[in-house]
């Protein structure tokens, strides 16, 4: 019998230019928005107050953008970093070009921009990736560049 262990990718397995479409998507709910905003002490009325939000430009509550970012990164874990991540190093170039609303489904893809061995940490390497989140209509709702410190393949482990 063969044992198969689900894991992310080691440094050597990342291919620059590869795109990963992460499944399943995640439908944002009002409960997600209220709970996340409350847990993170974000009392922004645009996330919590339906009456106030109805008077604002989008006419309804917005899903907390930090929920969107966190969920977008989280969607990539099982395919890319589960058990192979040492640490997250940086997030940059974060943008939210279109709002996400309760009932919208967030679908995420990741493009690998760079991968290299670490010059100061033997057995580890740096991977730069670009996450893009879209709603069910294909509108880009979030983008972020992420730098992660990843394990290299253990010596003697087959590819």
Let me know the angle formed at the C-alpha of 150 by 3 and 95, rounded to the nearest 5 degrees.
120
d(CA 116, CA 106): 30
Banded pLDDT at 156 (limits 50, 70, 90)? low
What is the token pair recorded at 99? Answer: 């709002």
Q: How confident is the model over 71-115, as pLDDT tens digits?
A: 999 999 999 999 999 999 999 999 999 999 999 999 999 999 999
What is the token pair recorded at 11? Answer: 């440094």
- What are the residue ranges spanned by the domains of the chain? 14-151
What is the SS3 assignment for 30? helix
d(CA 135, CA 96): 12
pTM: 0.92
Q: 122: Cβ–Cβ under 8 A, 6 or more apart, which residues?
A: none
Q: State in words which class domain 14-151 has.
A: alpha beta
- Mean pLDDT is lowest, of 2-11, 21-30, 44-53, for 2-11
* Rounded percentage of the chain residues whose pLDDT exceeds 70: 97
């Amino acid at each position: 019998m063969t044992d198969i262990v689900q894991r992310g990718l080691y440094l050597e397995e990342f291919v620059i230019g590869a795109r990963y479409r992460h499944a399943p998507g995640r439908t944002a709910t009002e409960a997600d928005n209220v709970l996340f905003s409350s847990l993170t002490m974000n009392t922004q009325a645009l996330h919590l107050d339906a009456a106030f939000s109805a008077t604002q430009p989008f006419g309804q509550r917005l899903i907390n953008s930090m929920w969107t970012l966190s969920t977008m990164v989280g969607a990539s874990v099982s395919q890319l970093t589960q058990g192979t991540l040492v640490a997250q190093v940086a997030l940059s170039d974060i943008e939210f070009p279109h709002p996400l609303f309760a009932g919208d489904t967030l679908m995420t893809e990741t493009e690998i921009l760079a991968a290299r061995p670490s010059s100061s940490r033997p057995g580890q390497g740096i991977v730069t990736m670009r996450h893009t989140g879209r709603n069910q209509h294909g509108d880009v709702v979030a983008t972020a560049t992420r730098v992660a410190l990843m394990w290299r393949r253990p010596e003697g482990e087959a590819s």
